[in-house]
Amino acid sequence: MIEVVCAIIKINGKILVTQRSEKMSLPLKWEFPGGKIESEETEVDCIRRELKEELNIDVDVQERLDPVVYSYPDFKIKLIPYVVKYISGNIILNEHAQYKLLNISELLILDWAEADIPIVNQIKTI
């Protein structure tokens, strides 16, 4: 099972969400930015590193939500969500196709990676 952290990034009352590129696994699915935890790395260090690499932003890590375990046809994932607050940095998309800033009520409209759907449902209450 791979362990992946993902970030629910709050910017001025909206949530930043990203669309995977055609070249990534789960192409064109929407997700919360993040990635696989490397050995010797804490979850929080991983979030900070991934958000800098993928989006060029710095954040304040605030709250860990309930992890989701999900089996895709070819791999199993433990997806660990953190609520974070945007602090600084111009957003530069280094890997994703696009991003959107949405209200929580707008999130369910997107075509999410399957593992993310329970997380989208959880954050209706944050």
Q: Which stretch binds ligand 8GT (CB under 6 A): 8-16, 31-39, 85-93, 98-106?
A: 31-39
Q: Does 47 engage in binding with ligand 8GT (CB under 6 A)?
A: no
Q: Does 61 engage in binding with ligand 8GT (CB under 6 A)?
A: no
Q: How far is the CB of 123 from ligand 8GT (least distance, A)?
A: 12
Q: How far is the CB of 36 from ligand 8GT (least distance, A)?
A: 4
Helix (H, G, I), strand (E, B) or coil at 54: helix
* Binder of ligand 8GT out of 11, 26, 93, 97 (CB under 6 A): 26
Rounded-to-integer distance, Cα 74 and Cα 33, Å: 21
Residues numbered 93-122 forming contacts with ligand 8GT, rule: CB under 6 A? 113, 115-116
Rounded-to-integer distance, Cα 62 and Cα 44, Å: 10
Rounded-to-integer distance, Cα 78 and Cα 90, Å: 30
Query: E strand or H helix at 52, and its extent?
Result: helix 43-55
